[in-house]
Amino acid sequence: MAAEIHIGLIGYKFMGKAHSHAYRTVDKFFDLTAPPVMKAVCGRNAAAVEQFAQRWGWQSHETSWEKLVARDDIDLIDIGTPGHTHAAIAIGAAKSGKHVFCEKPLAMNLTEAREMLAAVRAAGVRHMVNFNYRRVPAVSLAKQMIEADDIGEIRQVRFTYLQDWLVDPEFPMNWRLRKESAGSGAHGDLGAHAIDLARFLVGDLAEVVGQKKTFITERPAEGTSDGLTATAGKGMESVTVDDCSMWLAKFANGALGTFEATRLAAGRRNYNRFEINGSKGSLVWCFEEMNFLDFYSTEDPSTAQGFRRIMATEGDHPYAGNWWPPGHALGYEHGFVHAVYDLLEDISHDRNCQPDFRDGAQCVAVLEAVDASIESGGWAEVERVE
């Protein structure tokens, strides 16, 4: 068993910062079998990636991902780049015998996702998709409560992911607004998170029907961009992805669901929310109040029925006991630390990661089924990934 796990990170902006923070933090709060060593970070801009490496504590830097994945001193490749690069990097990493940690959505389409899954399986390496919201303590608690039958048979669910960073039509273009680099807009960027949470908490989706729309079809050309901020360049550019998607779903277990994703909901900064209604109760969670899980039970006495608010920061709540005293809230970055902790432990103990590339491919299959339903004007079956 390795004494350390050597990390090679590709991408140094929004996700690069989040992942770097996780690697720097995880062994300070969690007991690891093999701690991470931040060996190298990779990006196309030599000066910028060198500065990032120095700031975040990476030992070295590269400007070629091909060179990075071929290095003998790297055990794990972490992919935090735009979607159109995921497949080539992940397949190259697997062929070089590296474990792979990849941002969502896994791939641009189901064909790519299947190729990535086949590559990591053939290489026998561990693989995980970073659906970080699974590892928010309140969400993990919801999973435990569902498995304990606290809300009974799940019947109806609502998954909603609303943001507003693109409300202003003068907000400039960036890679997330181009189909060739992002694959889709709010549907894939935000909808992928909603789909994964639905699969995690409720089960597989069987059929879908939906609609998508681009309200702002042209934006100022890109100047500079970093994460969800940007400055304009010269001229205008066509937006080639959706601004929003809305769709219905039938789950394999008989539950019914609604899904909505948009980046044009004024006032909703990061409103990732679910409501799950069962035969014995309901669970409600929203990222904007991420430490709280609301629970309603029909088995409470009639004089005491109503939603109760659980603050998921107790020592025996998932992950929470590794941090601060009860009641001391966690934030966005903690989901990444929890993901990295589980990933490193899975690698150390040679066990399957969750969610893995099959989960990532199944998410892409749902996204594509919604697109197929829009094209056909009717319900579409979700292809099963084995």
Burial class of residue 54, CB neighbours in 10 A (0-12, 13-18, 19+): exposed
Cα separation, 269 vs 36, whole angstroms = 32
Report the candidate in 347, 352, 365 with the shortest Cα–Cα distance to residue 78: 347
pLDDT of residue 383: 98
Half-sphere exposure (Cβ direction) of 333: Cα atoms closer than 13 Å: 13
pLDDT of residue 36: 98
Q: pLDDT tens across 162-191, in order?
A: 999 999 999 999 999 999 999 999 999 999
226 strand-pairing partners: 229
pLDDT of residue 224: 86
Q: pLDDT tens across 187-224, in order?
A: 999 999 999 999 999 999 999 999 999 999 999 999 98
Residue type, 158: R
Mean pLDDT in residue range 269-282: 98
Domains in the chain (CATH in brackets) are 5-133 (3.40.50.720), 137-289+291-330+364-375 (3.30.360.10)
Q: What percent of the chain has pLDDT over 70?
A: 100
Cα separation, 192 vs 209, whole angstroms = 16
Residue 368 makes CB contacts below 8 A (sequence gap 6+) with 109, 110, 383
Chain Cα centroid distance, residue 109: 16
Q: pLDDT tens across 310-320, in order?
A: 999 999 999 99
pLDDT of residue 226: 77
pTM of the model: 0.97
pLDDT of residue 100: 99
Cα separation, 343 vs 23, whole angstroms = 11
Residue 320 makes CB contacts below 8 A (sequence gap 6+) with 137, 312, 313, 314, 330
Residue 377 makes CB contacts below 8 A (sequence gap 6+) with none
Determine the Cα angle at 29 with ends 25 and 34, to 5°: 75
pLDDT of residue 230: 83
- pLDDT of 265 strictly over 90: yes
pLDDT of residue 202: 98
pLDDT of residue 1: 62
Report the candidate in 45, 19, 23, 43 with the shortest Cα–Cα distance to residue 34: 23
Q: Give the three-class secondary structure for 247.
A: strand
Q: What percent of the chain has pLDDT over 90?
A: 97
In angstroms, the first-to-last Cα distance of the chain is 30
Q: Any idea which residue has 């001391």 for tokens?
A: 328
Q: pLDDT tens across 33-67, in order?
A: 999 999 999 999 999 999 999 999 999 999 999 99
- pLDDT of 118 strictly over 80: yes
- pLDDT of 371 strictly over 80: yes
Residue 303 makes CB contacts below 8 A (sequence gap 6+) with none
- Across the chain, mean pLDDT equals 97
